[in-house]
């Protein structure tokens, strides 16, 4: 199995460039991040070249943090800001060779939000495609993100079909999917053609994959049987330094 360190959570106390180097030393095959924009893209590109790691994903900005915003792309009347954020993410991804941009939907509900999200995704996909960059959308659970527009894989599937862009895919985060819908094994099988990236953490405490109500022995073996070979994103909260939490990595890499 191959694994990607999500540097939004792992080594999050380090500058992003140091975190990339730490992930390499620990044995990860790739990295991904949340919001890298405070670090110059050229510095991140250099750390990636030095380590030989690829950046698999980054997020569009959340918006006004003082108001608790969590993405702009499904917010009616915020299209101009949403598109500036998409352009910013594409430029950063282009410089760093990042594979996918997670277009964050935000807190919104209803038909208008759906339509705005689809329009912004159409824009993002068209602008990202010439650079070979993918756009992913990720259902978030209602415990951590109550009121978030995108909350289930079935809703994501409908949006992906409606937008109809070849570079629009699903970010399947096993942690969120288990909390909202369950049936992880069957969902991975059914949705494999639209999956752009997979993330994991224990459920319900979002910790290492060797605990909680999901068996990652089973899930990783199932992904292998499906022929899924891309790195899986370790997006769990280490609650302290990351290295002492990596027994699971040693186990699955050996
Ligand atoms: O929360 C998650 O899960 C993510 O993958 C983030 O990128 C979105 O906040
Ligand atoms: Mg996730």
Q: Strand order of the sheet with strand 232-234?
A: 54-55, 30-32, 3-6, 232-234, 195-200, 168-173, 134-137, 100-102, 57-59
- The pLDDT value recorded for residue 62 is 98
Which atom, in ligand 1's list, is nearest to the CA of 138? 5
- The pLDDT value recorded for residue 249 is 98
Active-site amino acid positions: 138, 235
State percent of the chain over pLDDT 70. Answer: 100
- The pLDDT value recorded for residue 254 is 79
The secondary structure of 174-240 as a DSSP string is HHHHHHHT--HHHHHHHHGGGEEEEEE--TTT---TTSSSS-HHHHHHHHHHTT--SPEEE----SS
Ligand 1 lined by 29 (C-beta under 6 Å):
no
Domains, the chain, with CATH or none: 3-253 (3.20.20.150)
Ligand 1 lined by 235 (C-beta under 6 Å):
yes
Ligand 1 lined by 59 (C-beta under 6 Å):
yes
Q: Residue 148 CA: which ligand is closest?
A: 1
Count of residues making up the chain: 254
Ligand 1 lined by 173 (C-beta under 6 Å):
yes
Which atom, in ligand 1's list, is nearest to the CA of 173? 3
Fill in the DSSP letter of residue 8. T
Question: Measuring from atom 7 of ligand 1, which residue has the nearest CA?
Answer: 34
Q: In the chain, how many H helices and how many E strands?
A: 9, 9
173 Cα: distance to centroid of ligand 2 (angstroms)? 5
Question: Measuring from atom 1 of ligand 1, which residue has the nearest CA?
Answer: 140
**Cβ contacts of 2 within 8 Å, gap of 6 or more:** 29, 30, 229, 230, 231, 232
Ligand 1 lined by 32 (C-beta under 6 Å):
no
- The pLDDT value recorded for residue 104 is 98
pLDDT digits (tens, 9 = 90+) for 33-51: 999 999 999 999 999 999 9
Q: Residue 32 CA: which ligand is closest?
A: 1
pLDDT digits (tens, 9 = 90+) for 201-224: 999 999 999 999 999 999 999 999
Question: Measuring from atom 2 of ligand 1, which residue has the nearest CA?
Answer: 140
Q: Residue 104 CA: which ligand is closest?
A: 1
Task: Kindly provide the ipTM of the predicted complex, given to two decimals.
Answer: 0.95
Pairing label, strands 3-6, 30-32: parallel
Fill in the DSSP letter of residue 173. E
Closest CA to 171 of 148, 185, 188: 188
Contact 201, 175 (CB under 8 A): yes
């Amino acid at each position: 199995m191959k694994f990607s360190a999500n540097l939004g959570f792992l080594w999050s106390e380090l500058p992003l460039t140091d975190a990339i180097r730490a992930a390499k030393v620990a044995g990860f095959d790739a990295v991904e991040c949340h919001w890298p924009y405070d670090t110059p893209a050229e510095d991140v590109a250099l750390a990636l070249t030095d380590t030989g790691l690829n950046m698999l994903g980054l997020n569009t900005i959340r918006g006004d943090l003082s108001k608790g915003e969590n993405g702009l792309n499904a917010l009616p009347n915020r299209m101009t800001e949403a598109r500036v954020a998409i352009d910013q993410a594409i430029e950063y991804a282009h410089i760093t060779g990042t594979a996918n941009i997670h277009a964050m939907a935000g807190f919104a509900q209803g038909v208008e939000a759906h339509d705005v999200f689809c329009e912004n995704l159409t824009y993002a996909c068209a602008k990202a495609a010439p650079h070979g960059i993918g756009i992913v959308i990720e259902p978030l659970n209602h415990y951590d993100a109550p009121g978030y527009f995108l909350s289930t894989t079935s809703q994501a599937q409908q949006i992906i079909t409606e937008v109809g862009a070849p570079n629009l895919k699903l970010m399947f985060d096993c942690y969120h999917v288990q909390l909202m819908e369950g049936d992880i094994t069957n969902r991975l099988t059914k949705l494999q053609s639209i999956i752009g990236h997979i993330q994991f953490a224990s459920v319900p405490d979002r910790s290492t994959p060797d605990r909680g109500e999901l068996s990652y022995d089973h899930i990783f073996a199932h992904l292998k049987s499906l022929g899924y070979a891309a790195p899986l994103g370790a997006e769990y909260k280490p609650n302290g330094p990351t290295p002492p939490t990596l027994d699971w990595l040693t186990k699955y890499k050996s």
